[in-house]
Structure 1
């Protein structure tokens, strides 16, 4: 049952579009507030749990900070420009991109994962078929590719450090990295603080904590599959709150993407066991 906290965390992550759409701010500044408030809340959670973050391999942590900051900024930009479900599925193409990237780094790839690659690309093409190639699509593609690199880096980092400790360092250092964005243009938080607090708490600190907690109680192949709840949740919130409806072709593409991501995730986890 404790493994189900992964699903709760994924649903919380899927609520990100709700907060992004209700805060009028550029992606860099919005990312800063998400990461900063997430850092504050996660620090409080770790304090309550009596954990003291311990970090090793600063160079690897620095790479994770840079790559995941790019992921967060580009994903938020995509949410602002295209449907929530489309942005989430572009992000969740990451396990498909991981396949060739992992092969280049010498990882063993399960044969079934290679079948997921053309299927995922086909699903992506169907998903994007109603769209012209726009800034939103570009940002979504960037978020997926950078997220794939993050997966590979995190796999290495998890051998040396706890996931919650890496996340704590990432949120704090990424906030510093994005701090200059506050001076790009005037920032007004009047009337936005409740949304900003929620942004840092619900789809960030709480979501990451529950997700990482649940992973400890899941079989290795379960967590990546449960994580697929996130794009489904994002699409649900987009439909219910913003009236975003996908076409039949897009729904077919989304289904193929989810299926191929599930196959890819299971294939990658089978190699690890």
Structure 2
């Protein structure tokens, strides 16, 4: 394996390890910071860290008008809406369940990449998408049963996690064309800055909640801003510039099982058996989506 392939593999592994840890840290900070304020704090730290990295890199490519529009979509959908929705969802969902619901995102990315990026929609991709969606339904039912019945807060949490998955997919599909021209660090910095602007209405609440939050909440916010945001989004953009969006999106199914294990180690959280079954169904859907029609060569 060449050094460039090792570098690509390292970027992918680091990205999904960092993102899996984010589900757990968000869960830990959740009792002290609401979804919106936590998103703002995370993005503020991320913008500072990425700004320093951009200055060190000393490379700036001015985006075209179309690329600015695409970056705006990435910033609003992925950095803004995704973070707020996921943070709020984890107020009532355990880290593993939230990760499994957000795990529908890769299928949406593969479908969107086929429609909007010309990567095609094979037959097995459509079948896999349907199976994975059934898995998400099972996760939602399991989440409600975990509280002894149809608990409205848990249902809202599951729906918000699904919103995060959709925002994730929209962000990736909009980001892919940008990475062909804009350096990974710069693209991540600009999208993060746009997401920060979107979350500014939560400024007052962030200041008020941080004033009474313990040190662990402060450090958790810093970690989320530096590792899963500044570093992991940059390594993601690097990988995205070097492989198809649908293929890379499928690889993100590494995160749910990792987040489940980390959530158990950190908080002793174990998702409901039906939610775990739904996660397995999602993985089956991914496996089906990766199948290819066998072409028989002529004699």
State the TM-score, normalizing by the size of structure 1: 0.85
Unaligned runs of 5+ residues in structure 1 are 268-273
Find the counterpart in structure 1 of residue 209 from structure 2: 187
Alpha-carbon shift at residue 116 of structure 1 (Å): 0.6
Alpha-carbon shift at residue 95 of structure 1 (Å): 2.6
Find the counterpart in structure 2 of residue 59 from structure 1: 69
Other structure's SS at 2:209 match: coil
Other structure's SS at 1:81 match: coil
Alpha-carbon distance between aligned partners in 1 of 2:157 and 2:21, rounded to the nearest angstrom: 19
Find the counterpart in structure 2 of residue 89 from structure 1: 100
Change (3 A) 1:129 1:187: closer
Contact 2:110 2:246 in 1 (8 A): no
Match among 217, 224, 242 for residue 199 of structure 1: 224
Find the counterpart in structure 2 of residue 135 from structure 1: 156
Contact 1:238 1:244 in 2 (8 A): yes
Contact 2:37 2:203 in 1 (8 A): yes
Alpha-carbon shift at residue 86 of structure 1 (Å): 1.3
Contact 2:77 2:168 in 1 (8 A): yes
State the TM-score, normalizing by the size of structure 2: 0.78
Q: 2:131 aligned with 1:119, yes or no? A: yes
Unaligned runs of 5+ residues in structure 2 are 1-5, 145-149, 293-299
Alpha-carbon distance between aligned partners in 2 of 1:121 and 1:39, rounded to the nearest angstrom: 34
Alpha-carbon distance between aligned partners in 1 of 2:228 and 2:245, rounded to the nearest angstrom: 23
Alpha-carbon distance between aligned partners in 2 of 1:34 and 1:265, rounded to the nearest angstrom: 34
Match among 9, 16, 39 for residue 15 of structure 2: 9
Other structure's SS at 2:164 match: helix
Alpha-carbon distance between aligned partners in 2 of 1:103 and 1:217, rounded to the nearest angstrom: 17
Alpha-carbon shift at residue 22 of structure 1 (Å): 3.0
Q: 2:47 aligned with 1:29, yes or no? A: no
Change (3 A) 1:261 1:48: farther
Change (3 A) 1:41 1:127: same
Contact 1:127 1:251 in 2 (8 A): yes
Return 91-100 or 1-10, whichever deviates more: 91-100
Alpha-carbon distance between aligned partners in 2 of 1:29 and 1:203, rounded to the nearest angstrom: 17
Map 1:137-176 onto structure 2 (within 5 A).
Answer: 137-176=158-197
Match among 269, 272, 292 for residue 244 of structure 1: 269
Higher relative contact order (CA 8 A, sep 6+): 1
Other structure's SS at 1:15 match: helix
Other structure's SS at 2:127 match: helix
Change (3 A) 1:40 1:115: same
Alpha-carbon distance between aligned partners in 2 of 1:199 and 1:76, rounded to the nearest angstrom: 11
Higher gyration radius (CA): 2
Alpha-carbon distance between aligned partners in 2 of 1:221 and 1:109, rounded to the nearest angstrom: 10
Alpha-carbon distance between aligned partners in 2 of 1:226 and 1:103, rounded to the nearest angstrom: 16
Aligned length: 267
Other structure's SS at 2:90 match: helix
Return 232-241 or 256-265, whichever deviates more: 256-265
Map 1:210-249 onto structure 2 (within 5 A).
Answer: 210-214=235-239, 223-249=248-274
Alpha-carbon shift at residue 217 of structure 1 (Å): 6.4
Find the counterpart in structure 1 of residue 83 from structure 2: 72
Alpha-carbon distance between aligned partners in 1 of 2:109 and 2:23, rounded to the nearest angstrom: 25
Q: RMSD in angstroms over aligned alpha carbons? A: 2.7
